[in-house]
Amino acid sequence: MDPTADATPTVSSNADDIVRNLSLVRDEIAATAAQIDEQEMAALAGHLAGHLGQTGRVFVAGAGRSGLVLRMAAMRLMHLGLNVHVAGDTTTPAITSGDLLLVASGSGTTSGVVKAAETAAKAGARIAAFTTNRESPLAALADALVIIPAAQKTDHGSSVSRQYSGSLFEQVLFLATEAVFQSLWDNTDEQAEQLWLRHANLE
């Protein structure tokens, strides 16, 4: 029996493949980000700005790669001085009235994310959401809603993106949260050195 018969075939990419796909990803991100409604973004940023220097807390909740992007956003908001918690962490307290929940789900139907938004709404907290689906349960719960016009992760035949399984939503979500952070920071008097003092020193 040939010992190599069941071996996994070797997959390789050459420089042309990399150049082509760098352009693909860059162009899809740029085209999708350009379609985001800046007023929706400004409204969401306004909800976060209301927590700068205030007692209200900001919670973030997302699943999978979207959740990882929101964790990065949580760090940046912490650097600005907001009181930020990540849902699911062992030290995260109960959300209450006066707090803000920041959530993301491409489909707007991710069960854990929708459940978190429902819990926040019942507690009297406000909800700021990113999704592709304006008609989704998550969108219906949001006080501030930003639509990212990307393909949903199960829409494998989409003409919106050639990338795999929700990648474009997650990429543009990162860009959007960075733009929100930058906009909030632009409207403070704090220098980068001041923000850096809040950076984790127990890494």
pLDDT for 15-70, tens place per residue?
999 999 999 999 999 999 999 999 999 999 999 998 887 777 999 999 999 999 99
| Confidence band, pLDDT 50/70/90 cuts, at residue 153 | low
Query: The tokens of 97 are what?
Result: 């009235």
pLDDT of residue 72: 98
What average pLDDT does range 118-135 have in this prediction? 97
Has residue 97 been placed in a domain?
A: yes
Has residue 3 been placed in a domain?
A: no
Residue 170 catalytic? yes
Beta carbons within 8 Å of 90's beta carbon, 6+ residues apart = none
As a whole-number percent, the residues of the chain with pLDDT over 70 amount to 91
Q: What CATH number did the domain enclosing 62 receive?
A: 3.40.50.10490
pLDDT of residue 69: 98
Write phi, then psi, for 202 (nearest 5 degrees): -115, 30
Has residue 169 been placed in a domain?
A: yes
Please tell me which residue in 135, 170, 178, 193 is annotated as part of the active site: 170
Kindly report the pTM of this predicted structure. Answer: 0.89
